[in-house]
Amino acid sequence: METLRRISLILILAFFSTFTYAQQSTQKVIEAFQNSYLHEASGNLAEAILDLKNVYQADSYPINLRLGWLTYSSGMFSESQSYYHKAVILKPYAVEPRMGLVLPLAAMGNWDAVIAQYNKILEIVPNYSIVMHRLGLIYYGQKDYEKAEKYFEKVVNLYPFDYDGLVMLAWTEFQLKKYRQAEVLFNTALMHTPTGASALEGLKLMK
């Protein structure tokens, strides 16, 4: 019986020792995040990064996500991509690490990878208008107007009186020589923003 009591006491002490260590470790990470935010706010990105690297845990989603942002902001695009990719692996159904990952990918001009990430996001959130708008912009920039039209149409169907969506769909229709549709869309955009420079320019070109 005495032996059992001693074993139980050892197990209890071990549990509380582990629990206390975990609490201390968590508090240390929280303080590192706080310092990192303060350093970022003051423009000291190097220190903001170091704050988190000093408590880095490979299996920590928040740390990898935050380091992805900070290294991207510092122009370290390859390192940023690595941190964001780790965050994606840790939370494969989360949208925010993929939205973060496209930042360094775009900065490096890796548009195929950007498109792949956006398509994955749309699998998770099918009607994510920001992603559809950005895909439309990418295809418009690549002069693939038919693909651009598909995404801008979806955006306008969701938000029929959104200036940015209306204008980009109007320009896409203009490029596809669908002038009547373009004119209607430009005019609708001007109902939203009567001084909208892009819509005014489009109508001027159609005269």
Query: Class assignment of domain 136-207?
Result: mainly alpha
Nearest alpha carbon to residue 46 among 78, 71, 77, 80: 71
Can you tell me the mean pLDDT for 139-166? 98
Can you tell me the mean pLDDT for 133-162? 98
- For the stretch 5-28, pLDDT in tens is 555 444 444 444 444 444 558 999
Per-residue model confidence (pLDDT) at position 3:
57
- Neighbour-count burial of 82, counting CB atoms closer than 10 A to its CB (0-12 exposed, 13-18 middle, 19+ buried): middle
Angle in degrees, 0-180, between the axes of helices 96-107 and 61-73, rounded to the nearest 10: 30
Can you tell me the mean pLDDT for 69-95? 98
**Are 59-126 and 136-207 the same fold in CATH?**
yes
Residue whose tokens read 């892009």: 198
Question: What architecture is domain 59-126?
Answer: Alpha Horseshoe (1.25)
Mean pLDDT value across the chain: 92
- For the stretch 169-189, pLDDT in tens is 999 999 999 999 999 999 999
Q: Where are the domains of the chain?
A: 1-55, 59-126, 136-207
Per-residue model confidence (pLDDT) at position 1:
53
Distances from the Cα of 145 to the Cαs of 134, 137, 178, in angstroms?
A: 13, 10, 11
Per-residue model confidence (pLDDT) at position 45:
98
